[in-house]
Amino acid sequence: MNDIMFADEAEVGPEVAPWKVLIVDDDEGVHAITKSVLKNQEIDGRGLKFYSAFSGGEAIELLGSIDDIAVVFLDVVMETNEAGLEACRRIREELKNDLVRIILRTGQPGSAPENEVIIKYRINDYKEKTDLTASKLFSCVVTAIRSYQDLINLEQSKQGLRKVIEATKTITKKKSIGMFLEGILDQLVFILDASESPVTTERSSCYTIACEADNRYTIMSSMGNRVLLTNSFSDLTMDVQAIITDCHREESNIIRDNLYAGYFHFGKDHAYIFCLAGSHELQEIDKNLLNIFAGNINIALENLFLNEEIINTQKELIEKLGEVVEKRSSEASQHVKRVAEFSYLLAQDYGLNETDAKLLNSASPMHDIGKVGIPDAILLKPGKLTEEEFEVMKTHAQIGYEIFNSSDRSLLKAAALIAIDHHEKWDGSGYPNGKKGEEIHIYGRITAVSDVFDALYHHRCYKPAWPIEKIVELFTEQKGIHFDPELVDIVLENLDKYEQVVCDK
């Protein structure tokens, strides 16, 4: 008679799940009486749902497959004289279930002394069957269920705090504001398990809203599975619109029923609201976790803005320094910006990840920084350099490398690699070290293609601009000689895109 289930006949509201009670006894009459006494009772607005097992082994199978049974009424003597006690041991030790409340019911109290079994088998209550009148049975269940609920709340608090820590660690790994804001929505759902209500299949929705001037709102990202997750503020429900506008006006976090809105503000121009429209009312534990998470997010987001500000400042300084070098050699300062954009696109098309492509974009403007160490007489000479002068000119690659290589910053390390490798050639005939093929760092190989393409396309003091046909002819001839053949193929197969990058705006 394994896995037999009896459900109470009382109506249970659709908004809440019933408490689950397992009756374990080899006497069918005990099941019937227990169910008859308790079936129409409600505890804290929730009815009862009964499961039946007629041996200790059946009880273990049920508890192994249903993890939210609140109370077990357990007989001692069933298939063996100590079957109930053995079931207790297995529940606690094998199933590792310390939450379920176990009420031992015995008709033979002498076979299981109360003081001994309560301690040894971690029983929560001990009752003789003859002592359980209808009122005492109900009181016993109420006490057990409330104890179970307290333990569940404590466990949820612990799990929730773990999730807040994990969620904060996850989002702080995001490398851009956009990725960070999207990550917050994922983690809000993760923390609250809000992706699905415990009693319905309706899902929650989350939104990241940017607060614009004149009290306008832009939905930057959203997630959920409702009919439409819109990017238009006016399409949101009235209650969601209301909590967002109130949150912005009050500049504080607000929780109402199933809604949460968190406000985050940085400087004069950056204000965001994260809104969660849950499928059920947020509980006190949810509110506490949201407040903790919001505090962590506020710190992390502020740090990310500061980090981006540092990165943008660093990138701008590098571009400006690259422009200074170009202006000193009487070339257009836009060259370094075009090389940076060309290198970024080529890195993406080649298959580098976004982090490396962006690093190359930021570092490539410094490819010729070593020219600061080249005398004007050579650097600004309009005609062809002599052999001796060209040997001096070639030293700019090593000079650029030495300028940056001592830094521990990844950006400057990348700039050092580009400086020393972007004049190397695929066949090994380049300088300064005569590297060959993939011995040349991919940053240097990409920058070489970008630099030469743009330099040929535009006028220089020592040459006029080349027509695109002549540039294509040179790259075709130098494929596998000067340039990485795979990179040449990518550029020539997407010529319109790359020509657009180097065109004067």
Q: Report the CATH number at residue 136.
A: 3.40.50.2300
Quick check: is 289 in a domain?
Answer: yes
Q: Which residues of the chain have a pLDDT value below 50?
A: 1-14, 171, 194-202, 225-229, 330, 505
Give yes or no: residues 213 and 301 share one domain: yes
- Assess if residue 166 is contained within a domain: no
40 shares a domain with 127: yes
Task: Count the helices and strands in the chain (H runs, E runs).
Answer: 17, 11
pLDDT of residue 21: 95
Distance CA(313)–CA(317), nearest Å, equals 6
Q: Are residues 262 and 407 in the same domain?
A: no
CATH number of the domain residue 299 falls in: 3.30.450.40
The CATH number assigned to the domain holding 461 equals 1.10.3210.10
Is residue 398 situated within a structural domain? yes
User: In this structure, is residue 314 part of a structural domain?
Assistant: no
Q: Is residue 440 part of a domain?
A: yes
Q: How deeply is 328 buried, as exposed, middle or buried, from its count of CB atoms within 10 A (0-12, 13-18, 19+)?
A: middle
Q: Based on the fold, state whether residues 470 and 430 are members of the same structural domain.
A: yes
194 and 277 co-located in one domain: yes
| pLDDT of res. 381 | 81
Residues 455 and 353 in one domain: yes
C-alpha 194/C-alpha 205 separation (Å) is 9
Amino acid residing at 503: C
pLDDT of residue 226: 39
How far is C-alpha 489 from the chain's CA centre?
A: 36
**Residues 472 and 340 placed together within one structural domain of the fold:** yes
Range(s) of the domain holding residue 225: 173-305
Residues 6+ apart with CB under 8 A from 284: none
- Specify whether 177 is located in the same domain as 295: yes
User: Number of folded domains in the chain?
Assistant: 3
Residues 149, 180, single domain; the answer is no
How far apart (Å, rounded) are the C-alpha atoms in residues 110 and 130? 14
Statement to judge: residues 28 and 111 lie in one domain: yes
Are 333 and 298 in a shared domain?
no
Tokens of 227: 């009919």
> Is 204 part of a structural domain of the chain?
yes
Q: Domain check: are 30 and 95 in the same one?
A: yes
Give me the pLDDT at residue 14, please.
41
In a domain, 322, yes or no: no
Interior angle at CA 391, CA 389 and CA 397, nearest 5:
120
8 Å CB contact between 333 and 360: no
- As annotated, the active-site residues are 371
Please state the φ and ψ torsions of residue 151, each to the nearest 5 degrees: -65, -40
